[in-house]
Structure 1
Amino acid sequence: MEEIRRLAEIAAHDCSLNHIFPEESKKNREGKFYSHVLKGDFDDDNQASVLLYGSNANDVKYKMLKHRLKKKLYNSLFFYDFSRLKTPRYHQKEQECIHLLHHAHLLYRLHEVELVINLTSKIKKISNTYEFLNFAIDALELEMLCYSQQGDLSKYNSSRKELDKCLKLKAYEREALTLFQMLRIQLKKSVKIRKKHLPEFVQDIERLKIIWKKSKSFECFNAYYKATIIYYELTGNFEAIVELTVASEALLKNNLVNSLRFDAKFNKYILVYAHFRAKKLKMGLEYAAKYLEDFIEGSPNWFAYLENYFLIAMYDKKYELAETIIHRASSNSMFIKLPAAAKERWTLYQAYYLLFASTDRKTNRIINPFLLSLPEYSKDKQGFNVAILILQFIFYLQRKETEALLYRIESLKKYILTHLKDTFSLRSKTLLKLLIITVTEDFDAQSSSKKGAKLYQRLIETPIPGDAFAEIEIVPYEHLWEHILLILNSQYK
């Protein structure tokens, strides 16, 4: 049932496929079955069979109906209109090559050799433009079959030389893709295993770079590019990611990378993100403003891009800009369609913004951090849990609920012992210890600052770990500690 449901949703999503089940045909069982599946009326085959035939799922008539519907839905995929999807143009060209190859193979079996050669010529032209090596190989192999059948030795040898060249290039591409895919598999393992394999990653990336330089293939470049970003994220070397993304922009500009295949938007997103993580804030803000209009407003990628833009603004203490970004995101009509976790992130961002906004810009709205329930991203990193704990602490601190803060000391200590045992959690552990000091020092700003001086210095000296291991700091912990001392100074005299 799940297979049919998913196929039906795909067919219904594409308006050009509505002819499969016109409105007037829904009176028959096939159309009725399709209609009920789309409405989600069936949990299993028994329910469907009872409604359609008054029998159980083993009814031969129901099984035949299900088979016919499934076959029709799969056949409809041949007519799916990919141009309607918001995908890169090369995806549509890939689909065009697939259709042309399908036609060419069919025509070859019908002995229409000349028609096959016409189609392979089109396939090769698209493949050369977009660097679709697999399609080029298929087309050349078909050509060789046709020329051998025609007895045309000259054209056969020409296609054979071209195919030999493609197959050598394919060997490079296959090696590059295998190295990249193996690296991605290792990333699914635990942090301990990932760290163990880091030296191997270095060797693999060096090999990927050599393959790309030798082949000058887009696929080889793309494997090297993505693997390098992953490696530098793991090691926290965001300076190197900045260099890679800037260099990639230059390669694109000089036509050294296929501009029709390269995901320029992804590179711009990573470029801004890397500037943020490398704390190159001024340049990060310049790039963020420059490239924002390249993203479709209201799209998921646009919202993700705005998150990085907001975080850079907060790190650089550009609070008015941060407010503008929050307003632009939350007032967009597509905001309500974001996943629940994404909407809660924006609520959390707004709560942190309100902490640092100047008095005249603050609203009367108080965001209760106890209502936030963002999930951990994985067992290997803390996600936004620490960010919420800190916000809860400051929430009580601002309201001068000292008894509640005294009660929270033990839970903070327990959280440190349970969840912040690894070296990549040192910054979070240090800040939470500073929070505890404010309570043990009876909320005295000078005493807390003096007692926490060594911990604060440790915080300054501890770099933010690689993204694969790190908890998220919505604002630098150093800024948070300074802000907490300001609260103590102004409200606890």
Structure 2
Amino acid sequence: MEVLKEILRIVTSKADVSKILPELVDQNHSDYHTLTGRYLRGIHTDEFKTDEEAAQVLYKAHRSDQRYRTLKSRVYDRLIHSVLFLQVKQPEHSEYLSYYYKCTRNLICAQTLIRFAARAAGHEVAERTLTMAEKYQFTDICLALAKILHDTSAVMAQRAKATVYRGKTITYTALLQAEHRSDFIIDIYVLEAHISSRTTAYLSDMAEAGLMEIRELCAAHKSHTLILNEFRMRIMSHKLLNQHSGILETSNEAIAYLEANPHLSQPARLGEFRLQKLTVLIALGKVQEAFRITDYVTNSFRAGGYNWFNALYYSIVAGLLAGEYEKAADYVNQATKHQMYNLIDDFRRQNFTLLNAYVLIAEQLQLGSLGNASPEEFQRRGARFKQFRLSTYLNSIPEVSKYKQFYNTAVLISTICFLILYKDFDQAERRIEYIKVYVSRYIRSQTFHRVKIFLRMLQAFNRCSFDPKQIRKANKKLRALLEESGAESNPTAIGEFIKFEVLYEGLLSFLDRYEASLDE
């Protein structure tokens, strides 16, 4: 069922459905009310989530029923056939993708013509297609076409052409082997890196050897795929050693290469390296620069895909850290309201829940320009805050909370913020008292120097009975230390989603407003 849904999603989004699958959309079509029409609509609207449901509704039978299996097989064949009639010249598709689709379809056409004894026509199609495929460096297609052209030239006794295409076949065979080898090097490294027992030294040696081999392949063969794989291997090697400047430099080189060769580029490839750049800019603390490229990154990917959600996650983080809270809220809405949101993995969904909580905190503390909103906007935020339940929030992020040194620190800080916003100072005091134990257990490394300073500053809220004037006085030295620590810390490594300085001042301003309301 999932395979049919995925194929149908592509067909309905990139083909003229009224011509290819009229029973799906045209109520006046003779097949609209047939079992095929009902089955297609059930898959498209997600009415049928499983084969069992579909078989029960359509035939009141089990999924193994022969009638249902026949229907599913016929629909599967129709959808596969429909994939050959996509409209890939739409604005959202790159030149590279459009020509890859065209060359692939032409290759199938050439093979079919030759096998049905239309050898001259098949040869002509293959020859024209090879010229296109060579321009865009589609090595796999080039090899298949060169072999076809060699064979047909030999059969037609065209010795000169057969010699030329034999040479091309040999060249593309070696090139495709090199590209596959570079893919294998990267895949093997990624698989090894997921094994927890692998040491940094072992992985570093493996990455260095892999990078050296890919560079040798690049020197021996001119290939777009090999060049991209060299960039990827360099980035992975830098990531292993936390060399952020190396990741940024390599990402910029890759982006420049793709922009200089637009016919070899496509949005997803640019997005791949723009996303690397976005994450490393955040890690380097260059949050304003990171925020400026968030739209470029998110727009590089198809909405609803894995990389799109990944890009939105880091775009929200960049927006929060850069003080662009309204834009961060917009990114949260894009993610959580998308139809594919409930289908992403639990851990990533919990990440969005955590970030949404920080957007809500920013709104209630009126951080940045949020304090200049219209009365209607304040009313909307107030209604949204009333719907928020702290217990529901905490129960919805069990996997995130297991990461004591990172995510759970952010959860603890957000919990204290919400309790203060609720004016539940007794509960806030209890959570703040837990900080001392929490730091001694989980926040020992020097990496967490900045977060330890901020947690110590939160402890002053208890000692000063949540009096903002006394808190400012008690934290004067720590506030200066916090400011100094900003340049040396990676916010994404310590769970800092809103700048600690901004969050601290926001909490004090909220307490100022609360005290003023008591005096009225």
Contact preservation (8 Å) 1:387, 1:474 = yes
What SS does the aligned partner of 2:475 have?
A: helix
Name the CA shift for 1:219/1:11 in 2 (closer, same or farther; >3 Å).
closer
Q: Which residue number corresponds to residue 368 of structure 2?
A: 357
Contact preservation (8 Å) 2:5, 2:43 = yes
> Separation in 2 of the partners of 1:56 and 1:313?
50
1:220-259 correspondence runs (5 A): 220-252=226-258, 255=261, 258-259=264-265
Q: Which residue number corresponds to residue 408 of structure 1?
A: 431
Bigger shift: 157-166 or 74-83? 74-83
1:199-218 correspondence runs (5 A): 199-218=205-224
Q: Which residue number corresponds to residue 135 of structure 2?
A: 129
Which residue among 449, 465, 471 is the counterpart of 2:475?
A: 449
Q: Which residue number corresponds to residue 416 of structure 2?
A: 393
Instruction: Calculate the aligned-residue CA RMSD, in Å.
Output: 4.7
> Separation in 1 of the partners of 2:209 and 2:404?
26
Cα deviation for residue 351 of structure 1 reads 2.5
Contact preservation (8 Å) 1:315, 1:476 = yes
Q: Which residue number corresponds to residue 181 of structure 2?
A: 175
Cα deviation for residue 220 of structure 1 reads 1.1
Task: Write out per-residue CA displacement over residues 56-100 of structure 1, whole angstroms, 9 at most, x where no aligned residue.
Answer: 555544443443333333333333334459443322222212211
Q: Which residue number corresponds to residue 464 of structure 1?
A: 490
Cα deviation for residue 276 of structure 1 reads 3.1
> Separation in 1 of the partners of 2:158 and 2:228?
38
> How high is the sequence identity, in percent, across the aligned residues?
17
Amino acid aligned to 2:358: L
Cα deviation for residue 143 of structure 1 reads 0.9
What SS does the aligned partner of 1:263 have?
A: helix
> Separation in 2 of the partners of 1:484 and 1:421?
26
Task: Write out per-residue CA displacement over residues 253-282 of structure 1, whole angstroms, 9 at most, x where no aligned residue.
Answer: 655994468833443444344333223456
Amino acid aligned to 1:149: V
Task: Write out per-residue CA displacement over residues 275-325 of structure 1, whole angstroms, 9 at most, x where no aligned residue.
Answer: 33223456556x539x75994899678997687567556656xx4xx2563
Name the CA shift for 1:474/1:74 in 2 (closer, same or farther; >3 Å).
same
Cα deviation for residue 218 of structure 1 reads 1.2
Cα deviation for residue 209 of structure 1 reads 3.7
Bigger shift: 8-17 or 400-409? 8-17
Contact preservation (8 Å) 1:100, 1:119 = yes
Contact preservation (8 Å) 1:100, 1:123 = yes
Amino acid aligned to 1:94: Y
Bigger shift: 323-332 or 166-175? 323-332
1:474-493 correspondence runs (5 A): 474-477=497-500, 480=503
Contact preservation (8 Å) 1:137, 1:166 = yes
> Separation in 2 of the partners of 1:313 and 1:8?
35
Cα deviation for residue 472 of structure 1 reads 3.7
Q: Which residue number corresponds to residue 325 of structure 1?
A: 327
Which residue among 293, 312, 327 is the counterpart of 1:288?
A: 293
Contact preservation (8 Å) 2:214, 2:226 = yes
Contact preservation (8 Å) 1:269, 1:305 = yes
Task: Write out per-residue CA displacement over residues 163-198 of structure 1, whole angstroms, 9 at most, x where no aligned residue.
Answer: 222223223212211111223323444497678524
Contact preservation (8 Å) 2:270, 2:300 = no
Bigger shift: 350-359 or 138-147? 350-359
Which residue among 145, 151, 156 is the counterpart of 2:157?
A: 151
1:81-120 correspondence runs (5 A): 81-84=87-90, 86-120=92-126
**What TM-score comes out, normalization by structure 2 length?**
0.73
Cα deviation for residue 390 of structure 1 reads 1.2
What SS does the aligned partner of 1:24 have?
A: coil
Cα deviation for residue 117 of structure 1 reads 2.0
Q: How many residues align?
A: 483
1:61-100 correspondence runs (5 A): 61-84=67-90, 86-100=92-106
Name the CA shift for 1:410/1:202 in 2 (closer, same or farther; >3 Å).
farther
> Separation in 1 of the partners of 2:213 and 2:284?
26
> Separation in 1 of the partners of 2:53 and 2:218?
55
Amino acid aligned to 1:288: I
Bigger shift: 186-195 or 382-391? 186-195
Unaligned ranges ≥5, structure 1: none
Amino acid aligned to 2:362: Y
Name the CA shift for 1:38/1:418 in 2 (closer, same or farther; >3 Å).
farther
